[in-house]
């Protein structure tokens, strides 16, 4: 029985590039859905689940950052990457802060894109398999953390985590009160230890600190040039 094809949603308004990428990805055995507007993308997202969303920043009706924010709130379990000509550092960091798992700059070679997609999906599935132990509900101080549903709960208040926030918190919880080196976290979750991924890691650590601040006994400590420790009684 053949392997099930991965579903990719491509959100790209440029006719030529959108057609080229969608056809190339189909040749590479992906099931591709192509949307040229943010509105159409949301319709497709609401209608079906996707393994990955490739998202352009510059769209005719809504900018990709705003669309990414909707994904973060309503579909936190769906990973997405940005594919855009906007390559200023502030744009890259903004993309990561919204939950993007990668940020690819145009023009991009189609073969490179496929390699990056396979690597990303492989990491996601590998992580999901590893993080499906019998135990997936954890106590973190006064918080309950459900890594399967991506929920962090404090006094019945539920914080819905993005896929990357969930991965990171799960990694820290599995290694609580131990030093998690920058390199180990980045290679495990991002697949690469580089400047932008290190900046992205810091952004997500800030998110988790904000979510966990209601319990003063919980701390995510930063050991300069070494890594992070999730400290909890």
DSSP H stretches of helix in 98-194 = 110-130, 163-174, 182-185
Structural domains of the chain in order of their starting residue, each with its CATH number = 7-130 (3.40.50.2300), 137-231 (1.10.10.10)
How far is the C-alpha of 148 from the C-alpha of 117, rounded, in Å?
23
pTM greater than 0.85: no
DSSP-assigned states of every residue in 25-68: HHHTT-EEEEESSHHHHHHHHHHS--SEEEE-S--SSS-HHHHH
DSSP-assigned states of every residue in 76-87: TTS-EEEEES--
Pairing, β 219-223 against β 227-231:
antiparallel
Angle at 117 between CA 165 and CA 186, to 5 degrees: 40
Residue 1's pLDDT is 38
Q: What is the pLDDT of residues 46-101, one digit of tens each?
A: 888 899 999 998 889 988 888 888 888 788 778 888 888 776 778 787 888 787 87
Tell me the two tokens of residue 134.
């019998």
Residue 23's pLDDT is 94
How far is the C-alpha of 113 from the C-alpha of 17, rounded, in Å?
13
Residue 194's pLDDT is 78
Is residue 162's pLDDT more than 60? yes
End-to-end CA separation in angstroms for the chain: 49
Integer CA distances (angstroms), 48 to 28, 105, 125, 126, 156, in order = 21, 27, 19, 23, 29
Residue 149's pLDDT is 85
Residue 2's pLDDT is 47
Residue 144's pLDDT is 94
Q: Of 123, 127, 153, which Cα lies nearest the Cα of 214?
A: 153
Residue 10's pLDDT is 95
How far is the C-alpha of 103 from the C-alpha of 200, rounded, in Å?
11
Instruction: Indicate the average pLDDT of the chain.
Output: 86
Residue 233's pLDDT is 74
Pairing, β 102-105 against β 137-140:
unpaired
Q: What is the pLDDT of residues 4-48, one digit of tens each?
A: 789 999 999 999 999 999 999 999 999 999 999 999 999 998 888
Taking each helix axis from N to C end, the angle separating 64-74 and 89-97, rounded to the nearest 10 degrees, works out to 20
Confidence of residue 3 (pLDDT cuts 50, 70, 90): low
Residue 199's pLDDT is 85
Using DSSP's 3-state secondary structure scheme, residue 131 falls into coil
Residues 168 and 205: beta-carbon distance below 8 Å: yes
């Amino acid at each position: 029985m053949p392997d099930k094809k991965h579903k990719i949603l491509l959100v790209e308004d440029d006719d030529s590039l959108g057609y080229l990428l969608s056809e190339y990805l189909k040749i590479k055995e992906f099931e591709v859905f192509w949307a040229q507007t943010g509105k159409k993308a949301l319709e497709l997202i609401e209608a079906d689940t996707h393994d990955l969303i490739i998202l352009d920043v510059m769209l005719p009706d809504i900018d990709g950052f705003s669309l990414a924010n909707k994904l973060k709130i309503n579909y936190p379990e769906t990973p997405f990457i940005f594919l855009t000509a906007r390559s200023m550092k502030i744009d890259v960091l903004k993309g990561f802060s919204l939950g993007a798992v990668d940020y690819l700059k145009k023009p991009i070679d189609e073969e490179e894109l496929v390699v990056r997609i396979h690597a990303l999906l492989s990491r996601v599935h590998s992580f999901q398999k590893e993080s499906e132990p019998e135990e997936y509900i954890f106590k973190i101080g006064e918080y309950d953390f459900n890594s399967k549903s991506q929920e962090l709960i404090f006094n019945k208040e539920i914080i819905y985590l993005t896929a990357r926030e969930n991965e990171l918190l799960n990694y820290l919880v599995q290694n609580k009160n131990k030093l998690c080196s920058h390199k180990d976290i980045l290679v495990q979750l991002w697949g690469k230890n580089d400047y932008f991924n290190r900046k992205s890691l810091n952004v997500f650590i800030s998110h988790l600190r904000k979510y966990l601040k209601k319990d003063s006994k919980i701390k995510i400590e930063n050991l300069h040039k070494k890594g992070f420790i999730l400290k909890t009684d």
